[in-house]
C-alpha cells in the first residue's frame, strides 16, 4: 500500500512538472458552469417635471416623484412619507389599493343607478326597480323574482367573483391594451382618474340618499324638472 501511494504521488508530481515545463495551465478542478437568467426590469416611466400638482409640498415631492400613475404630489397626511410618522404602507401598495377600489367603485356607480334607469324605461319589473339603498334591506326570501333561486345566484356570483379575483392576481403577459409605452401610461392615468371620480360618485350617492331619501336618478329628474327648487342649496337645509 505504501509503495502504491509513493508511485501515485511520483506520477502526479511528474505530470505537474511536465505541464509547467511545457507552459500549460495547471489542472483546475472540473466545475459545471451555472447560468442565472434574470428578467430585465424596466424602470417605471416618470411623469415630467412639469406634471400637474395638487397641493404638493416640498416634502411630498421628495418621495412622490411621478413614477406612479395619477401621482400629483398630494399627500397631506404623509401616509407615503418614509421619513415622517406615515410610511407604514409601501406607496405602490397604496396605489394598487386605490386602483382596485376605483374599479369596484366604477362598477358600483353604474350598478347603483342602473335599476332606476331601467325601471323608469319599463325594461325591468317595478318590484326590482328600487333605489340602491333599499335593496339591502330586503330579506333573502323577499320580492325579487329572478331566473334562479337565491342560493344558485349566490354560488354563481361567488364563482364569477372568484374568477375575477384569480385573474386580478395573475401577471398577464399581454393585457390587450397599451400597445406602446406612452399609450399604456395614458390608459393607467385615465383608469386612476375615472376610479377617483367613481369613488366620489359613491360618496355622493350616500349623501343624496341621506338627505333626499330617493335615488340618484330620481334626484336628477327632479332637478331637471325644477332646477330652482331642487338643487344642492335647497336640499341641504338643516333645521
Which tens digits make up the pLDDT trace of 107-139? Answer: 999 999 999 999 999 888 887 888 888 876 555
Q: Which three cell numbers stand for residue 105?
A: 367603485
Task: Give the pLDDT confidence score for residue 133 in this predicted structure.
Answer: 86
Q: Across 22-36, 73-87, 98-112, which has the greatest mean pLDDT?
A: 98-112
How far apart (Å, rounded) are the C-alpha atoms in residues 131 and 173?
40
- Residue ranges at the known binding site for chlorophyll b: 103
Domain boundaries, the chain: 90-144+178-235
Task: Give the pLDDT confidence score for residue 13 in this predicted structure.
Answer: 53
Grid-cell match 501515485, residue found: 8
- Residue ranges at the known binding site for chlorophyll a: 80, 98, 190-191, 194, 196, 208, 223
Grid-cell match 355622493, residue found: 204
Task: Judge if pTM exceeds 0.85.
Answer: no
Q: Which three cell numbers stand for residue 212?
A: 333626499
Give the residue among 198, 191, 200 at the shortest CA–CA distance from 96: 191
200, pLDDT greater than 80: yes
Q: Which residues of 80-114 are buried (b: 16+ CB within 10 A; e: fewer)?
A: bbeeeeeeeeebeeebeebbebbbebbebbeebbe
| Torsion (CA) 135, 141, 146, 150 in degrees, nearest 10 | 100
Task: Give the pLDDT confidence score for residue 177 in this predicted structure.
Answer: 62
106, pLDDT greater than 80: yes
Task: Give the pLDDT confidence score for residue 30 in this predicted structure.
Answer: 45
Q: Across all residues in the chain, what is the average pLDDT?
A: 73
What is the percent of the chain where pLDDT is above 70? Answer: 64
Helix ranges (DSSP H) in the chain? 2-21, 60-63, 91-120, 132-135, 150-169, 181-212, 216-225, 232-235
| Torsion (CA) 112, 113, 119, 120 in degrees, nearest 10 | 160
- Residue ranges at the known binding site: 80, 98, 103, 190-191, 194, 196, 208, 223
| Torsion (CA) 24, 26, 27, 33 in degrees, nearest 10 | -90
pLDDT tier at 217, thresholds 50, 70, 90 = very high
Tell me what the mean pLDDT of segment 196-206 comes to: 94
Residues 6+ apart with CB under 8 A from 45: 67, 181, 185
Tell me what the mean pLDDT of segment 212-235 comes to: 89
What's the Cα-to-Cα distance from 56 to each of 2, 4, 81, 125, 171, rounded to whole Å? 84, 83, 13, 50, 33
Give the residue among 96, 94, 62, 98 at the shortest CA–CA distance from 81: 62
- CATH code, residues 90-144+178-235: 1.10.3460.10
Task: Give the pLDDT confidence score for residue 23 in this predicted structure.
Answer: 44
Task: Give the pLDDT confidence score for residue 6 in this predicted structure.
Answer: 41
Amino acid at each position: 500500500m505504501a509503495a502504491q501511494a509513493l508511485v501515485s504521488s511520483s506520477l502526479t508530481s511528474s505530470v505537474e512538472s511536465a505541464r509547467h515545463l511545457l507552459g500549460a495551465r495547471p489542472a483546475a478542478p472540473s466545475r459545471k458552469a451555472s447560468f442565472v437568467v434574470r428578467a430585465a426590469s424596466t424602470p417605471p416611466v416618470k411623469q415630467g417635471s412639469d406634471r400637474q400638482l395638487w397641493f404638493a409640498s416640498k416634502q411630498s415631492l421628495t418621495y412622490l416623484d411621478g413614477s406612479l400613475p395619477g401621482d400629483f404630489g398630494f399627500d397631506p397626511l404623509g401616509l407615503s412619507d418614509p421619513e415622517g410618522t406615515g410610511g407604514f404602507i409601501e406607496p405602490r401598495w397604496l396605489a394598487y389599493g386605490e386602483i382596485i377600489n376605483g374599479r369596484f367603485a366604477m362598477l358600483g356607480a353604474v350598478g347603483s343607478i342602473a335599476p332606476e334607469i331601467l325601471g323608469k324605461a319599463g325594461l325591468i319589473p317595478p318590484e326590482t326597480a328600487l333605489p340602491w339603498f333599499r335593496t339591502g334591506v330586503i330579506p333573502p326570501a323577499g320580492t325579487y323574482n329572478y331566473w334562479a333561486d337565491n342560493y344558485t345566484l349566490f354560488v354563481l356570483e361567488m364563482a364569477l367573483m372568484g374568477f375575477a379575483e384569480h385573474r386580478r392576481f395573475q401577471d398577464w403577459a399581454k393585457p390587450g391594451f397599451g400597445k406602446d409605452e406612452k399609450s399604456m401610461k395614458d390608459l393607467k392615468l385615465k383608469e386612476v382618474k375615472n376610479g377617483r371620480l367613481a369613488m366620489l360618485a359613491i360618496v355622493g350617492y350616500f349623501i343624496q340618499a341621506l338627505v333626499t331619501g330617493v335615488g340618484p336618478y330620481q334626484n336628477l329628474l327632479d332637478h331637471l324638472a325644477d332646477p330652482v327648487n331642487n338643487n344642492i342649496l335647497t336640499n341641504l337645509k338643516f333645521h
